Amino acid sequence: GGRFDSFYKQTLANLVNASGRTWRWKSGPGAVSGPPGLLHEMQMADQIRKMYFQRGSMPEVDFTLINPVLGPGISKLVIEIDGQKFDYEPGGAASSGAMKWPGPQPGHVSIAAYDSSGTLISRFDYQGDWAFFNALQAAHLQRKSDLLFLARFDFGGRVATVMLQASNLVNPFLNTVVQNFRCGG
């Protein structure tokens, strides 16, 4: 729960039909309707809770990075997300890495590509609370299925792709609910 969840449960739950795709005010004798747009915003708040706060009051999103594909000229890819590191070299031990957002050291994401001599080709760095999602946006994240997404990193013409597997069907990847949410006043 949180403030929106508490408000909904204490004030609105008995007045709302939340069983369908779009929440509606209950109808019939004694039914009460609230302000226009309130249910839409409450439903969006509920979606945010389900995507980011499944385990409690702190945000947490679990996912796995899988099956990197390194284009010509790239021999190693290093992805660091909030203090979690995924090192990938073809033929190496790890072809996947379980991660969570935010990680143990929130606020920094780095994606680096190296050539066969171990020289850095290029690195992308993102800072701030939303660094991970900014990195995904820059990587032109694409939906492949309900749980699989493809991130494409272009290092000056040398491309690496990485699949991101969400741990839950209700996930924030390519979902615009946070950007569209407005808390009226």
Q: What is the pLDDT of residues 39-73, one digit of tens each?
A: 878 877 777 777 767 777 777 889 999 989 999 99
Question: In sequence order, which residues have a C-beta less than 8 Å from that of residue 171 and are 6 or more positions away?
Answer: 51, 61, 63, 147
What is the rounded average pLDDT for all residues in the chain? 87
Strand partners, 70: 160
Q: In the chain, what are the domain boundaries?
A: 3-57, 61-166
**How far is residue 9's CA from residue 142's CA, in Å, rounded to a whole number?**
36
- Class of 61-166 per CATH? mainly beta
118 is written with which tokens? 């171990």
**How far is residue 166's CA from residue 122's CA, in Å, rounded to a whole number?**
27
Average pLDDT for 102-115: 97
Give the model's pLDDT for residue 158. Answer: 97
